[in-house]
């Protein structure tokens, strides 16, 4: 019997965070275009929202500018939105990451929010490569920024 190296678990990277903020505020940070640029991207990056059509089938496109002035494009399509529990979207972070699916899940825990973030990659090899490239550092920094934003919201 062959082992399935491309099983979902072998292609998925997960980050879980507890935010000391009610679920609606965390949801709004993802859902409202005006709030995205205030936290999206690792520390030191500036994000501009080009497109944010927050509906199933809607497209999103942001540019992210690195401290050295280089810019790269992040874009995709929303495939599932279930307020306030789940957002699923495709994502390309050109030129570093392409063809992944982002799954953001939000669970109310009293006045806190348990946030589960998963990125599903096309293959297990690609998943391992992305992890080595700094997946946890980059997204961890992004969610630190989200947490800071939520504290002042």
Q: Domain-by-domain residue ranges, the chain?
A: 15-152
Closest CA to 49 of 70, 24, 75: 75
Q: Which two tokens stand for residue 115?
A: 């946030």
Model pLDDT for residues 7-22, shown as the tens digit of each residue: 889 999 999 999 999 9
Model pLDDT for residues 57-107, shown as the tens digit of each residue: 999 999 998 888 888 899 999 999 999 999 999 999 887 788 999 999 999
CATH of domain 15-152: 3.30.530.20
Q: In Å, what is the CA distance from 142 to each residue of 17, 99, 106, 118?
A: 12, 20, 16, 14
pTM for this predicted structure: 0.92
* Beta bridge mates, 62: 49, 74
The radius of gyration computed from the CA coordinates of the chain, to the nearest angstrom, equals 15
- Distance from CA of residue 102 to its chain's centroid? 6
């Amino acid at each position: 019997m062959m082992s399935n190296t491309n099983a979902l678990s072998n292609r998925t990277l997960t980050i879980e965070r507890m935010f000391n903020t009610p679920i609606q505020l965390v949801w709004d940070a993802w859902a409202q275009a005006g709030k995205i640029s205030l936290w999206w991207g690792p520390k030191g990056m500036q994000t501009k929202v080009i497109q944010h059509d927050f509906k199933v089938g809607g497209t999103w496109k942001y540019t992210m500018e690195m401290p050295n002035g280089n810019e790269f494009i992040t874009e995709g399509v929303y495939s599932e939105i279930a307020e306030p529990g789940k957002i699923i979207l495709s994502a390309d972070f050109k030129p570093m990451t392409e063809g992944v699916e982002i799954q953001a899940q939000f669970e109310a825990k009293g006045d806190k929010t348990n946030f589960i973030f998963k990125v599903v990659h096309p293959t297990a090899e690609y998943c391992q490569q992305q992890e080595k490239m700094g997946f946890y550092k980059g997204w961890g920094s992004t969610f630190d920024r989200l947490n800071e934003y939520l504290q002042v919201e």
